[in-house]
Amino acid sequence: MRNIWTIAMREFKVYFTSPIAYIVLAMFAVVFGYFFTSGLAFFMDYSASVQAQGGAGAPPLNVNQFVIEPSLGNMSIVLLFLMPMITMRLFAEEQRSGTIELLLTSPLQDYHIICGKWLGALLLYGCLLLVAVLNISVLFLYTTPDWKPLLVSLLGLLLMGGSMIAIGTFLSTLTRNQIVAGALTFGVLLLLWVLNWISSYETSTFSRVCEYLAISPHFEQFSKGVIELKDLLYYLSAISLGLFLSKRSLEALRWKA
Amino acid sequence: MIQVEGVTKRYGPKTAVSNISFEVERGEIVGFLGPNGAGKTTTMRILTGFLPPTLGTASVAGFDVGKSPIEVKRRIGYLPESPPLYPEMEVEDYLRFVAAIKRIPKKEIPRRVDAVLERTATGAVRDLLVGKLSKGYRQRVGLAQALIHGPEVLVLDEPTSGLDPKQIIEVRGLIRSLAGEHTILLSTHILPEVAGTCGRVIIINEGRIEASDTPENLTAQLQGANSLLLDIDGPSEAVRERLELDLAVRKVIEHEARNGRTVWRVEADKDENLTRRLAEAVVTSGWGLYGMQSLGLSLEDIFLKLTSDESAAAQAEEEVPEPEAAESDPPADEGSGSGEGEDE
């Protein structure tokens, strides 16, 4: 565990000694801030009009449902663009600079290196979530959102992000070129993101499989505060698969190096 | 300490290393000498557990590289050809990180870092970013990295390539000072480098070991010496006496027995007519001459390759003024074309 942590902390610090962390955090803060503000504006406009129509007896509008849910739901679009930037360097950079030789000739198991790198990227992603939480916490000053579904959403986001990072980690082992790794990751994540679109027009087995494989629909229940086993399993298996493929790829790297 | 047995490494159809075997005893400094692309880096990568061999076994300190890689890696300090440095880290942080992944107990790390900083004379740059260091300092931080866990075996791949003459002398001095505590295997494609530092030299060319001896013997063998194998059917003592009669012959050694005959190895001064005279001598004595083979030639080829490599590089350096210790260190080699992975 200490080995994984050592690798993870180095990765995490590198993000902050290079411009990557700042660029990703700044971009995220702006885009998420925009999502959140527009969601809030819609909510205030809508609740004002409901009151104007004399809906005094109607139950108050749910801030979770109208502000938090959509803004966190939209986060997957932002992640689609930011995740490749976070993961592309993980192994590609080490291969380019030759430092992979240091890692692979140290008394470490492959999974120490892979999990360490994955965890390091996940920690940076955790910082992004923190920015989102910071935005949302403003709501607590003026109203009383339900915090339990919020926590479940955050767990869902962590799992979804973890899956994306695991996929990116694997793709980064495939090449010594960071741009190639980034482009591949973006392509794969984009495909996983749009994979369920076909199911709106078709109901064949193929489209149902596609829907299940798509990455964002599994977040829907989380965003409503519901943890479903199939969603949990989906994300956990995506993470395991990504890390497993990384390990295989690292072994192959040795054979062909 | 290091044992390599019948190791072969193929990259697809290309054979980088072909059935090589050698041993390195505890405390020895052994030089791996060969032109670029000879298989030096590949062999070192196999020893350090970076690459698995296609065939054969290698073991370090009694542990098999394939079966217990972790134990081997704990006992090896490895400096690859381009030092594996993270440019965005400070020297001290970098060494702490390396110490941690080499599994040094947390409490011991500061002490070890201080020790290697002192050992490699890099204390002055401990707070600098690795990316800002000069080539000489990078090499030393690379060495510090290899030394930090106090490994029994040091594997150094071209430790002086790309350095200027003054830095080369410093790094060589550093390596020599490490002898005794560590068993060292270093590679180079420069002949004088091994003469200055190594107790034994293994010459490798096109993936095969061509010779293994002390630098003095090798130089003697290479320069103006000639070595012949003679497969003769005749009474041993008489054959020996007759062969030794020739003025150019220095030494006659029984090489091996073959089909009831004896194969002799004759070491002699360089003499164009030697082969002819020896053949005549054997035949006129009434013995059977079943085979004759010159050994000197192939080594000479390599030697020529090595020296021409060096003189070309030395010329390219535009007569660098030779520093203080010039007697033992002829003009430095910039390592013609020392790019990454040139040995593949």
Total domains in chain A come to: 1
Residues of B with CB under 8 A from a CB of A: 11, 45, 48-52, 70-71, 73-74, 76, 78, 80, 82, 84-89, 97-98, 100-103, 106, 145, 340
Give the number of other CB atoms < 10 A from CB of residue B141: 25
Rounded Cα distance between B277 and B273, Å, is 6
Quote the tokens at residue A187.
């392509």
Confirm if B138 and B126 have CB atoms less than 8 A apart.
no
Residues of A in contact with B132 (CB under 8 A): none
Residue B326 is predicted with a pLDDT of 38
| B50–A2 CB contact, under 8 Å | no
Angle between helix A147-173 and helix A178-194 axes, rounded to 10 deg: 130
Domain ranges across chain B: 2-219, 226-294
Rounded Cα distance between B36 and B42, Å, is 11
Whether the pLDDT of residue B22 is over 80: the answer is yes
Indicate the pLDDT class of residue B175, thresholds 50, 70 and 90.
Answer: confident
Residue B343 is predicted with a pLDDT of 42
- Name, in order, each residue with C-beta under 8 angstroms of B220's C-beta and a sequence gap of 6 or more: none
Whether the pLDDT of residue B118 is over 50: the answer is yes
Residue A103 is predicted with a pLDDT of 95
Output phi, psi for A134, to 5 deg: -60, -45
Tell me the mean pLDDT in the region B132-141: 91
Residue in B with minimal Cα distance to A109: B70
Q: Which residue has the tokens 């955790």?
A: A126
Checking ipTM against 0.85, whether it exceeds it is yes
Domain B226-294 has CATH 3.30.70.3100: yes
DSSP letter assigned to residue B336: T
Query: Which residues, listed in sequence order, are joined to residue B23 by a DSSP beta bridge?
Result: B3
Query: Which residues, listed in sequence order, are joined to residue B294 by a DSSP beta bridge?
Result: B228
Most trustworthy range by pLDDT among A38-52, B65-79, B328-342: B65-79
Residue B221 is predicted with a pLDDT of 64
- Name, in order, each residue with C-beta under 8 angstroms of A187's C-beta and a sequence gap of 6 or more: none
* H or E segment to which residue B126 belongs: none
Q: Count A/B contacts: CB-CB distance under 8 Å.
A: 73
| B82–A105 CB contact, under 8 Å | no
Indicate the pLDDT class of residue A209, thresholds 50, 70 and 90.
Answer: confident
3-state SS class at A212 = helix
What confidence tens digit (pLDDT) does each residue in B210-246 have? 778 887 777 666 655 677 888 888 888 888 888 888 8
Whether the pLDDT of residue B20 is over 50: the answer is yes
Residue A182's domain spans which residues? 2-256
Tell me the mean pLDDT in the region B80-95: 94
What confidence tens digit (pLDDT) does each residue in A125-177 have? 999 999 999 999 988 888 888 888 899 999 999 999 999 999 999 999 999 99
Residues of A with CB under 8 A from a CB of B: 2-3, 6-7, 10, 14, 17-18, 97-109, 254-257
Domain B2-219 has CATH 3.40.50.720: no
3-state SS class at B291 = strand
Percent of chain B with pLDDT over 90: 35
